[in-house]
Structure 1
Amino acid sequence: MSFVHLHTHSEFSLLDGANRLGDLVRRALHYEMPALALTDHGCMYGAWAFQKAAWKEGLKPIIGMEAYVAPGDRRDRSRGSAERNYYHLVLLARDREGYRNLVKLSSIGYTEGFYHKPRVDREVLARHSGGLIVSSACLAGEVARNLMEGRDEAARDAAQWYANVFQDRYYLEVQAHGTPGQAELNRRIFDLASDLDLPVVATNDAHFLECGDHEAHDTLLCIGLGKDKSDPDRMRYDDGLYFKGPDQMREAFPDRPDVIENTLRIGDEVDLTFDKKYHVPAFPLPEGVSTEEEYLVHLTTEGAKERYGDPLPDEVKDRMDFELGVILETGYSGYFLITWDFIRWAREQGIP
């Protein structure tokens, strides 16, 4: 049985993620994984390059984001410790609707909710919930934080709210590393999932590629935090937050094959592809002209006759036919008409 990483950070989790996109794709292929998610902190900076690199190598990309969720209104900027002003939440685009909602949520985080981090809130999550698959994230997630601080009822309420909003698309998340408290959180997550009949998914919150990259990542983290490496009170990541293989993930949850199977299920559910297209406005055509192509050929021919005479010299006609053929074949007639209209108007106004 394989496995799909659904909680993965790249270099676009600025000064926190140490994985390069190409390395992630190659490592997933090395482990014969069918898909891979990119879930950078609060942003989608790497989404286009990631999906392009993944599809090129035959790997299904899952576009996602680890969102910052405000505990109240996203616009509330009451003073307090930065980490208490948001929770983490993993969002994955299942389809085109989900991708559009993910883009919208990312933008709202920066334009309306930015306070220490780009934050969203429950109101906009409910408004833009369509097509998104959601998991409860790490120790900094809302459910996790409530569980670890003894607020079991609050954790239960939060999980039920997300399960109701993202019906059949919400998963509680367990992770396979040794961060202090993670094993206890996993146990409590399993208990909560049993109580609420919710599915559980395994991730590893991968911030670096191999276990041996931990020291380099720790240096990167210090740069991001503005801390000295010798500072005993600074944040430290466990050396297990790397891109583990399927066998390692299964070994972490030997009695719960469902948490591995659910990653594959999510990978199968995702159906999102992109077509690279250029959208050019339709050019307003004069009466009696039916297509942009016809009008471009007419203007070009008349202009050539003005410049070179009628009938056109053979070499001029051959060159004109060749260049028009390229433009017509590539569908750029409207673009050239718009450019011609700009230049015509500028000349009429005496603008060089």
Structure 2
Amino acid sequence: MIHLHGHSHYSLLEAVGNPSKIVNKAKELNMESIAITDYYGMYGIIEFYQIAKKSGIKPVIGVEINFTEDFDRSGSDGFTSLVLLAKNNEGYQNLMKLVSYANINGFINTPSVDLKGIKKYNEGLIAFFGGEESQIGKMILNNENDDFIKDKIKYWKDIFGNDNFLLEIIAQDESKNKYLKIVNNKIVEIANITNTKMIVNNNFCYIEKSDKDAYEALISIKDSKAYQAGNIKGDFHIMSKEEIENILQKNGYTDEIIKNLINNNIQISQNLNVEMDLGKILFPNYESDDNIKDLYESLKDILVEKN
């Protein structure tokens, strides 16, 4: 099992666990790769990349961000969740550009991107929707016409490419969340009709199952509510393959579907290859006039001493 959707403590007040512990858990579970898709930002990506590479774990780099088709017509309910993964170095650059774009142009309560930004910075990226807060999930819960949902999926495939747009099954106990059950079941149906590849994740937000109390306390702080154990329904630790399989079996998925979902995660991760060239100066090399160069040479030692 390869997790392609999850969060570190750099998802501020949204998750528990630093990149080092995430990587160590992946090693403990014999995973070849794991993703961090923090909310709205990429603050922990360099740290995660370095630790993962050193540990022999392939780092998958992504972000989860709010999406609206048009900032001017978004309204309070017009934002949905979008997860993006970098396929390659160009995708990594575009992820950074999209996060900057979201903070500069789309900061409406939280950083958000619109179709204009997505269309400009989509090269080298994989996108997927799943769960109740995604655009497809909300369309399903709003009882949108199947043809309309299929057209929307085609629209996204036209933007990202047929192989770079995925639908996601969220591996949580559907008996505790009837809305998730509706969304998951419909996604399976729509994916089969539209020939869209599906993946599976439980959207981890902490490392161990025992970390749930800390996570619930964190969410209470974020929401300015009194802490009460058991407010969070579901398990959002980094699950093993067996745990994912058991949840999916309990939810009624066939062995064939479960096998395909898990294999799709592995296949996707194998096709994601970002290689950062760290340790180099990234500042542009500006050519100065000779008199400026002479002035710098005469004063550089003093400048260094004073700093």
TM-score where L is the length of structure 2: 0.86
User: Which residue of 261, 278, 281 maps to 2:281?
Assistant: 278
Q: Name the counterpart of 1:163.
A: 157
**Using the alignment, how far apart are the partners of 2:94 and 2:192 within structure 1?**
30
Q: Name the counterpart of 1:315.
A: none
**Using the alignment, how far apart are the partners of 1:211 and 1:27 within structure 2?**
12
Q: Name the counterpart of 1:200.
A: 198
Instruction: Say which SS state the counterpart of residue 190 (structure 2) adopts.
Output: helix
Kindly provide the CA deviation profile for residues 216-256 of structure 1, in whole angstroms up to 9, marking residues without a partner as x: 2111001011112359xxx9432312210012223333331
Query: How far 1:176 sits from its partner (Å)?
Result: 0.9
| Contact 1:38/1:62, CA 8 A, preserved across alignment | yes
User: Which residue of 74, 84, 93 maps to 2:71?
Assistant: 74
Q: Name the counterpart of 2:264.
A: 262
**Using the alignment, how far apart are the partners of 2:261 and 2:27 within structure 1?**
21
**Using the alignment, how far apart are the partners of 1:59 and 1:75 within structure 2?**
42
2:256 partner amino acid: D
User: Which residue of 114, 124, 128 maps to 1:135?
Assistant: 128
User: Which residue of 63, 70, 77 maps to 1:65?
Assistant: 63
Instruction: Say which SS state the counterpart of residue 133 (structure 1) adopts.
Output: strand
**Using the alignment, how far apart are the partners of 1:220 and 1:170 within structure 2?**
32
For structure 2, the residue ranges without an aligned partner over 5 or more in a row are: 249-254
**Using the alignment, how far apart are the partners of 1:346 and 1:169 within structure 2?**
50
2:273 partner amino acid: D
| Contact 1:11/1:19, CA 8 A, preserved across alignment | yes
Query: How far 1:135 sits from its partner (Å)?
Result: 1.0
**Using the alignment, how far apart are the partners of 2:134 and 2:19 within structure 1?**
25
Instruction: Say which SS state the counterpart of residue 139 (structure 1) adopts.
Output: coil
Q: 1:230 to 1:164 in 2, by over 3 A?
A: same
1:13 partner amino acid: S
2:270 partner amino acid: D
Query: How far 1:282 sits from its partner (Å)?
Result: 6.4
**Using the alignment, how far apart are the partners of 1:110 and 1:130 within structure 2?**
20
1:108 partner amino acid: Y
Q: 1:140 to 1:97 in 2, by over 3 A?
A: same
Q: 1:63 to 1:121 in 2, by over 3 A?
A: same
**Using the alignment, how far apart are the partners of 1:116 and 1:284 within structure 2?**
43
Q: Name the counterpart of 2:252.
A: none
Query: How far 1:145 sits from its partner (Å)?
Result: 1.0
| Contact 1:177/1:238, CA 8 A, preserved across alignment | no
Q: Name the counterpart of 1:93.
A: 86
Q: 1:169-208 counterparts in 2 under 5 A? A: 169-178=164-173, 180=177, 181-208=179-206
2:16 partner amino acid: A
**Using the alignment, how far apart are the partners of 1:175 and 1:206 within structure 2?**
10
Q: 1:1-352 counterparts in 2 under 5 A? A: 3-70=1-68, 72-75=69-72, 78=75, 80=76, 84-153=77-146, 154-167=148-161, 168-178=163-173, 180=177, 181-229=179-227, 236-253=231-248, 254-256=255-257, 257-276=259-278, 277-279=280-282, 281=285, 341-342=295-296, 344=298
Moved more, 140-149 or 248-257: 248-257
Moved more, 110-119 or 270-279: 270-279
Compare the two structures and name the one with the higher strand fraction.
2
Kindly provide the CA deviation profile for residues 167-226 of structure 1, in whole angstroms up to 9, marking residues without a partner as x: 111110001112512233211110010111111000110011122222221110010111
Larger radius of gyration: 1
- Alignment length, in residue pairs? 287
**Using the alignment, how far apart are the partners of 1:346 and 1:40 within structure 2?**
41
Q: 1:346 to 1:37 in 2, by over 3 A?
A: closer
**Using the alignment, how far apart are the partners of 1:57 and 1:124 within structure 2?**
35
1:110 partner amino acid: N
Task: Name the structure, 1 or 2, with higher relative contact order (CA <8 Å, separation 6+).
Answer: 2
1:342 partner amino acid: Y
